[in-house]
Amino acid sequence: MTSYGYGHEMDAQPGAATGTPLVVLDHVNKHFGDLHVLNDINLTVDRGEVVIVIGPSGSGKSTLCRAINRLETIDEGTIAIDGVELPDEGKPLAQLRADVGMVFQSFNLFAHKTILENVTLGPIKVRGVPKAQARAEAMQLLERVGVANQADKLPAQLSGGQQQRVAIARSLAMKPKVMLFDEPTSALDPEMINEVLDVMTSLAKEGMTMIVVTHEMGFARKAANRVVFMADGLIQEEATPEEFFTNPRSERAKDFLSKILTH
Ligand SMILES: Nc1ncnc2c1ncn2[C@@H]1O[C@H](COP(=O)(O)OP(=O)(O)O)[C@@H](O)[C@H]1O
Ligand SMILES: [Mg+2]
């Protein structure tokens, strides 16, 4: 199996988190007007750890992801990546953002650029990687996610599942320290969900630190170290996937699970 090349983390398995904090949210609060969308969030994600964020629509999951990437500002508290607090703006922010890969529900590829260009653009522009090297690394990543033969096509010529795998390759090309996934499979036709989850599962097995908003329980059971359940802007409970899905403690979680399990 080709590896993504994360050195010492390559042989890690889920459960093999190293115990050193990589993403630390400390008393994070955010409001949208009267809405307290992030309510005193404290969350530490260790290097190599895979954390699933689950919860009802509107509970603040996307805002949490966007705050970690500083696509949203926060009102109070701190967010640090690898010991560095998120900078406000400018080049330090661009650098730090490059350390935090993000994959959205909508694939967000550049529509008028080829698949290969989509993957090489960031490394060339932000990381200053020479073109030839960027292309070689991009082709390896596209190979790894199974779409190397589509490299010269435009995004619209690919299926949703293929586009989402390209979006993952594009994020990985920046060699991020952590990957955020915000409902990466919820816009996909059912038959394409697994091809994306398979890529994410192998990434998790290779030791990538991941924060994943998803309701895919199979993936959570296979790949996650921890489930964080959010509702109303609060982290309501945290548990292992097994504990959470078989024995949720809070009424909110029980209610939520009964709804997603019935269909
Ligand atoms: N830019 C915004 N302005 C105002 N309200 C927002 C904005 N973004 C999200 N919200 C609100 O914040 C709440 C949480 O949204 P979100 O983080 O997208 O939740 P989730 O991803 O869990 O569904 C929702 O009530 C949503 O309507
Ligand atoms: Mg959301």
For residue 30 and ligand 1, the question of a CB distance below 6 A is answered with no
- Tell me the per-residue pLDDT of 184-195, one tens digit each, with 9 for 90 and over: 999 999 999 999
User: What's the CA dihedral at 124, 128, 131, 134 to 10 degrees?
Assistant: -70
Confidence (pLDDT) at 2: 42
What are the two backbone dihedrals, phi and then psi, of residue 133, each rounded to the nearest 5 degrees?
A: -65, -40
CB 184 within 8 A of CB 104: yes
Ligand sitting nearest the alpha carbon of 105: 2
CB 226 within 8 A of CB 240: yes
Measured from the CA of 65, which atom of ligand 1 is nearest?
17
For residue 262 and ligand 1, the question of a CB distance below 6 A is answered with no
pTM for this predicted structure: 0.91
List, for the chain, all residue ranges whose pLDDT scores fall below the cut of 50.
1-15
Considering only CA atoms, which residue is closest to atom 7 of ligand 1?
A: 32
Confidence (pLDDT) at 3: 44
Ligand sitting nearest the alpha carbon of 54: 1
Confidence (pLDDT) at 17: 61
Query: What is the distance in A from the centroid of ligand 2 to the CA of 41?
Result: 16
CB 192 within 8 A of CB 216: no
Confidence (pLDDT) at 111: 96
- Tell me the per-residue pLDDT of 216-236, one tens digit each, with 9 for 90 and over: 999 999 999 999 999 999 999
Confidence (pLDDT) at 95: 81
Confidence (pLDDT) at 16: 54
For residue 71 and ligand 1, the question of a CB distance below 6 A is answered with no
